[in-house]
Amino acid sequence: MQVFLKANLAFISVPKTGSTAYEIAMRPHADIVFTKRLKHMTAGKFQNKFRPFLEDSFGRNPELMAVMRNPIDQIRSWYKYRSPARLDREDRNSTGDLSFDEFVLEVISDDPAPCAGIGAQFGFLTVKGETPVDHLFAYEHQPLIRGFIEERLGATLNLKDKNVSPDIPAPISPKVEARLRKARAKEFALYEAILDAGGVLRKIS
């Protein structure tokens, strides 16, 4: 998570949405940078804990931006990132011999295996079912994201790929996809709302 006081902007880092590449490119312009455990601060924690601090300490109430990815692709990125192509099979977070279908079913189960405990974008981006994010972009609209950031910061970004997942097959069957869409209907609906808005969903004041 990064905060840019002059631009009155805060960027929250949603896992597996290309956020690391943006944060590295934006770091020279940031006034506040969170790393490690606080790198992936949720929208709820920002709204309830950190926004009041910014108001009290700096007199700032920054606009919040984030990127959301197609839910299937975001889960698929986690699967590849935790596959034996990158992690040792003995690692508790490794997907081991799980197929992508099996991994998805673990993700949406009531008690997911350690490798599938990845949370959900909807929970990350919302507070009581509503999102406090002022500018919520679809991952697939990269020129829109980059253009917005460069305009706000008044700088050109030098983006480089970071934390890229291994290129391994990860097909999903229609049956499992249907179960995923049912289990995470709100997440798919939020993502579709971003696409319907042209790639960025703006918060109406």
Task: Supply φ then ψ for residue 189, to 5 degrees.
Answer: -65, -40
E strands, the chain, are 2-4, 9-11, 32-33, 63-68, 135-138, 200-202
Residue 162 has pLDDT above 80, yes or no: no
Alpha-carbon distance of 111 to 98, in angstroms, equals 16
Domains of the chain from N-terminus onward: 2-202 (3.40.50)
Q: What is the pLDDT of residues 174-201, one digit of tens each?
A: 999 999 999 999 999 999 999 999 999 9
Q: What is the pLDDT of residues 49-93, one digit of tens each?
A: 999 999 999 999 999 999 999 999 999 999 999 999 999 988 999
The reported pLDDT for the residue numbered 160 is 86
Q: What would the mean pLDDT of 110-121 be, rounded to a whole number?
A: 97
The reported pLDDT for the residue numbered 204 is 67
Coil/strand/helix, residue 75: helix
Q: Give the Cβ contact number of residue 84 at 10 Å.
A: 16
The reported pLDDT for the residue numbered 91 is 94
Q: pLDDT confidence of 33, banded at 50, 70, 90?
A: very high
Alpha-carbon distance of 65 to 136, in angstroms, equals 6
**Reported pTM:** 0.94
